[in-house]
Amino acid sequence: MKLLIALLTSTLLLLAPEAYSRDSKLMFSIEDAMQSADFQERLDPNIRLYFGHQKHANTLRSFGNFTTNKKTNAFGKSDGEACRWVFLSALLALQERAKAEGGNAVINIVSYYKKQKYSSNSEFECHAGAIMAGVALNGDVVKLAR
């Protein structure tokens, strides 16, 4: 009996990393995410967000470049649902940083997974696994002319 338990335990330990090691690179529409009710309700409209090379007003002051790396529980959620949720979390963190620094916008926002930049005006990168999803963003906190 002890041998059977030891064999089952060993098998599970050997197979478990394979089952949970999925790290799928996924791309999602920024516009679609920003149109959802959660984003509309939770994001601060006074802290503007500009992705990739989107045009914005003149920069009056720069407060620095900041990175956020957020993860969320993806268990029981679709990849899309988990990725949109963690994208919102990352954007909220950038907005909080802008408020703390005295800025009114975050510009040049890029995906920054494992320190690899992906710049897009229309898409964000998310990595999803069996139990976790993650979004890393990098952007410049600034004060823009109104």
- Segment 102-120, tens digit of pLDDT: 999 999 999 999 999 999 9
Can you tell me the distance from the alpha carbon of 86 to that of 78, in angstroms, rounded to the nearest whole number? 12
pLDDT of residue 140 exceeding 90, the answer is yes
* Domains of the chain with CATH codes: 22-144 (3.30.110.70)
Q: Using the Cα atoms of residue 69, residue 133, residue 41 and residue 119 in order, give the sign of their dihedral.
A: positive
Q: What is the pLDDT of residues 36-67, one digit of tens each?
A: 999 999 999 999 999 999 999 999 999 999 99
Can you tell me the distance from the alpha carbon of 62 to that of 46, in angstroms, rounded to the nearest whole number? 17
Question: Model confidence at 18, in pLDDT bands (50, 70, 90)?
Answer: very low
Token pair listed for 10: 């060993």
User: Per mean pLDDT, which range of 19-23, 126-130, 134-138 is the poorest?
Assistant: 19-23
**Average pLDDT value for the chain:** 91
Class of residue 71 by CB neighbours under 10 A (exposed 0-12, middle 13-18, buried 19+): middle
129 SS3 class: coil
